[in-house]
Amino acid sequence: MPLTPFRVPWKPLLTAALMCLPTIAQSQPHDDAMRDALQAARDQDWQAIDRAAITDHVLAGYVDYHRLKARLPGATTREVQAFIDAHADSPLAGWMRGQAISAYGEAGRYPALLAVTDGEPRGTERRCHYYTALLGQDAATAAAGGRELWRVGHSQPDACDPLFNTLRARGAIGPQQTWERLTLAWKAGETGLVSYLGRQLSDDWDGARAALTRLDDDISAVNRLPTCLGPGCRANDALFAAAMHDYTRADTAAALTTWRRQASQWGLDDEHRRAIEHDLAFYSLVRDVAPNRDWVDGVLPRLDDTDLTVLRIRVALGDRDWAGVLAWADRLPADEAEEARWQYWQARALERLGDSAGADAAYGRAANQRNFYGFAAADRLGQAYALNQADTSVDDASRREIARLPAVRRTEALLRIDEPGLASSEWYAAAARATPERAKAMADHAARRDWPARLVQTTIAAQLWDALEWRFPEAYRDDFLHWGRRHDVDPYLLMGIARRESAYNPEALSPVGARGLMQLMPGTAREVSQRLGMDDPGPYGVLEPSVNIRLGSAYIGEMLKRYRGNRLAATAAYNAGPSRVDRWLRDAPQQFDLFVETIPFRETRHYVQAVLAYRVIFESLANDGDTRGVSMLSSAERRGEYDGSLLAKR
């Protein structure tokens, strides 16, 4: 596909504006002393700190933080609260509050803990300390919070033991709560916790424990268990809900047969009944269990669950049941139904059912939105894409004001002393609490400083969804253009992938180990580099933007060759792996939109849509915001067949 060349007439203006800003890399007075003092404070080497050299430094609070933290739990609540108040506009305040809650809790200084809290804290350990502290002041709230922490199928931290022990002694956690937790642990496969909790129950629960043992051997035995288990049948709700969950996952059709025969006899409460029916409906739809379909269609209106309704629409699309698509779409909540995705599919259904006027109206509503289905609807109507782009201009007075903002000054000082992580924490905290106008000025500042990751995150924190020049910056453009051409890959596609993968953060690390702008796994980076004749960049070398883009573009290039140049399939493979995409294509419908909508993995389904929409935005911005001549898909991608024929012979 021919690419629109980048045209950036505002570039000279940006360069001029940058010349007016002090250079961040240029050290300010006492920066070296501050850098040394912060490291000494982390090491608790207080004698090495030149206090006089940093007293007036904008980052002096960071040293004070470590000094006060080291004195906990001995520090007074007055000192802690004074620090929190003095640094209320910095993440230091929240960090200190959290450290004090942990330290006071571990020391059993519960009045002090409550004196510095600001409602329920985050984190299981701190929540346990908090509710333990409340035991003497607000027993009802402590009991409610403690029971919520108790009701999990895994072990909790030792910090929770005083809370749980007290609640059990008071009867707020009794046999019923113990049994419920036991069933959750059984469902999670936590056999050690099951045994531990079982020992806390009296002999009256022996029959219920025996039932779980029987289910371990044969989950289908749930339909042969006594209909009353535990004292007063109190084991029924949790046991049958846990058993039906596992049975539904193991054999959905048989589980529904059992449920329809046994439900009335088990006498379950509404909460557990709803959970069982939700599982049955979900797995019946996901696995396309045809014998269950009538039951599912009967129960969905009563469950009134948007996710299940969406799933039912997707099943109807897979069946080409266009009347069903319309019928189930009518059950969506109004805000959901107005989304381009569902307006598009209603248009497709109306079109197939012969209502061209209704279809055009629905396509028109979808085409007003800036996303994958909005762009696909515009293609159907033959009209330009709606970018709905907001003005990002900021006046000079606002720029001067934002440059003086303490949080901004701290961010820049942290960058000068090579603390980018702390700098980002300062920046994001300020963006999250900023007014819309201040957030806009902060985004402008980040753009002028060439901080693409902070710029993107500012637009997210402040919900500046229409500020496209900020949400989709042209950072790393030379590398995207260069390696895109070298590997015969659409550079706008590369930008879309990087934007979705890392939000343009070159140091992004995922929970599973993917790294850098294009989120490459170290193993993938090693294999691709070998094929390119490069040395393995290793886990840190792959974070270098130019290296990451080079390897990422080579890998997506391989996926494009695998799928005959089709970017939808290649993008899906970049996210989910090519073996899965190969399988989906062999079972796929033939139209591009049905292929995308029926991708089994929600993450991949949304990923493909986002990347292709993002590439439209990047190309349009490179064309001064003009979408004329910009196309989300090529003619082959839009009209081709999405089946096994898309797989290139290897």
SS (H, E, C) 355-419: CHHHHHHHHHHHHCCCCHHHHHHHHHHCCCCCCCCCCCCCCHHHHHHHHHCHHHHHHHHHHHCCC
Percent of the chain with pLDDT over 90: 93
Closest CA to 631 of 404, 450, 378: 378
What are the Cα distances from residue 391, in Å, to 437, 467, 610?
12, 7, 23
State how far the Cα of 162 lies from the Cα of 175, in Å rounded to an integer. Answer: 18
Beta-carbon contacts of 363 under 8 Å, excluding residues fewer than 6 positions away, are 343, 344, 347, 377, 380, 381
State how far the Cα of 471 lies from the Cα of 592, in Å rounded to an integer. Answer: 27
- The model's pLDDT over 550-573, given as tens digits with 9 standing for 90+, comes to 999 999 999 999 999 999 999 999
Read off the pLDDT band of 608 (50, 70, 90).
very high
Mean pLDDT of 257-265: 94
State how far the Cα of 309 lies from the Cα of 614, in Å rounded to an integer. Answer: 28
Q: Is the domain defined by 477-646 classed in CATH 1.10.530.10?
A: yes
Closest CA to 341 of 572, 116, 606, 108: 606
pLDDT value of residue 29: 65
Q: Which helix (H) or strand (E) holds 259?
A: helix 252-266
pLDDT at residue 588 is higher than 90: no
Domain ranges, ordered by start, for the chain: 175-304, 322-386, 477-646
554 contacts 585 by C-beta, under 8 angstroms: no
Read off the pLDDT band of 582 (50, 70, 90).
very high
590 contacts 641 by C-beta, under 8 angstroms: yes
pLDDT value of residue 3: 42
Read off the pLDDT band of 260 (50, 70, 90).
very high
Burial of 589 (0-12, 13-18, 19+ CB in 10 A): middle
Which residue has tokens 């942290």? 414
- The model's pLDDT over 16-68, given as tens digits with 9 standing for 90+, comes to 444 445 444 455 768 999 999 999 999 999 999 999 999 999 999 999 999 99
Mean pLDDT of 281-306: 97
Which residue has tokens 């046994």? 262
646 contacts 569 by C-beta, under 8 angstroms: yes
What is the pTM for the complete model shown? 0.90
Dig out the tokens for 328 from the structure: 């189930």
648 contacts 562 by C-beta, under 8 angstroms: yes
241 contacts 267 by C-beta, under 8 angstroms: no
pLDDT value of residue 27: 58
